[in-house]
Chains A and B, each alone.
Chain A
Amino acid sequence: MDFEFTEEQVAIRDTIRELVQDRVAPRAAEIDEKAEYPKDIEKLFAENGILGIPFPEQYGGISGSSVTICMGIEEIAKACASSSLILAVQALGSYPILVAGTEDQKKRLCPPLASGEKVAAYALSETGSGSDAAAMKTRAKRYGNEYVLNGAKQFITAGSVAGTLVVFAQTDADADHRGISAFVLERETSPWQSSKLEHKLGIRGSPTAQLVFEDVKVPAANRLGEEGAGFKLALAVLDRSRPGIGAQALGIAEGAFDYALNYVKDRQQFGQPISTFQGIQFMLADIATQIEAARHLVYRAATKVDTKAPDLTKIAAMAKLFASDMAMKVTTDCVQLLGGYGYISDYPVERMMRDAKITQIYEGTNQIQRVVIARALLR
Chain B
Amino acid sequence: MPLAEEVDRDHRFPIEAVTAAAGAGLLGVLIPSEYGGAGLDALAFAICIEELAQACASTSVIVDVHTSVGSEPILLFGTEEQKRKWLPRLASGELLGAFALTEPASGSDAASLQASARRTGDRYLLNGTKIFITNVGHAGLYVVFARTGPGEKAAGVSAFLVPSGTPGLRVGQVFKKMGLNGSPTGELVLEDVEVPAENRLGAEGQGFTVAMRALDSGRIGISGQALGIAQAAVDESRAVLVGRGREQGDDFMLADMSTRLESARLLAYHAAWLCSLGRPFTRQASMAKLHCTDTAMQVALDALQLAGEPGTVSGSPFERHVRDAKALQIYEGSNQVQRIVIAREVLR
Contact = CB atoms under 8 A, between A and B. Distances in A.
Interface in A233-279: 268-271, 274, 279
A198 B313 CA distance: 8
B93 to A, nearest CB: 27
Interface stretch (A66-74, A182-190, A360-368): A360-368
B178 A365 contact: no
Contacts, number: 108
A340 interface: yes
B305 A365 contact: yes
A346 B175 contact: yes
A270 B112 contact: yes
Contact of B319 (A201, A274, A339, A360): A201
Interface string B304-348: 110011001111000100110011011100111001100000000
A336 B334 contact: yes
A345 B102 contact: no
Nearest to B245: A132
Interface in A29-43: none
B331 A336 contact: no
A357 B177 contact: no
Nearest to A360: B305
Query: Which of A269, A280, A340 has the most chain B CB within a 10 Å cutoff?
Result: A340
B308 A361 contact: yes
B178 A350 contact: yes
Contacts of A344: 175-178, 185
A362 B309 CA distance: 7
Contact of A280 (B132, B305, B313, B336): B336
B339 A279 contact: yes
B314 A340 contact: no
B335 A336 contact: yes
Interface stretch (B103-111, B196-204, B267-275): B103-111
A199 B247 contact: no
A198 B250 CA distance: 29
Nearest to A201: B319
Interface string A331-346: 0100110011011111
Of the candidates A332, A346, A366, the one having the most CB atoms from chain B within 10 angstroms of its own CB is: A332
Contact of A343 (B105, B247, B319, B327): B327
A199 B131 CA distance: 29
A270 B331 CA distance: 18
Contacts of A201: 304, 312-314, 319, 322-323
B319 A200 contact: yes
A209 B308 CA distance: 16
B175 A367 contact: no
Contact of B249 (A280, A332, A353, A367): A367
Contacts of A346: 175-176
A335 B250 contact: no
B305 A269 contact: no
Given A270-B112, A339-B334, A360-B305, A367 B323 contact: no
Interface in A41-61: none
B301 interface: yes
A370 B178 contact: no
A340 B309 contact: no
Given A336-B330, A342-B330, A269 B107 contact: yes
A332 B312 contact: no
Interface residues of A, number: 41
B301 to A, nearest CB: 7
A339 B107 contact: yes
B178 A200 contact: no
A358 interface: yes
A339 B108 contact: yes
Contact of A268 (B105, B309, B331): B105
B297 interface: yes
Contact of A365 (B107, B308, B315, B340): B308
A343 B326 contact: yes
A198 B319 CA distance: 14
Contacts of B336: 279-280, 336
B308 A130 contact: yes
Nearest to A283: B336
A328 interface: yes
B41 to A, nearest CB: 30
A367 B105 contact: no
Contacts of A335: 178, 326, 330
A192 interface: no
A10 interface: no
B319 A367 contact: no
A197 interface: yes
B348 to A, nearest CB: 19
A339 B131 CA distance: 12
Given A270-B109, A336-B334, A361 B178 contact: no
A252 B235 CA distance: 31
A367 B102 CA distance: 42
B183 to A, nearest CB: 12
Interface string B150-164: 000000000000000
Return the 9 tightest CB-CB contacts between A and B, nearest first.
A199-B314, A201-B319, A269-B109, A350-B178, A344-B175, A345-B176, A340-B132, A201-B312, A270-B109
Given A361-B309, A371-B249, 5 more contacts: A130-B309, A200-B313, A339-B107, A340-B330, A370-B249
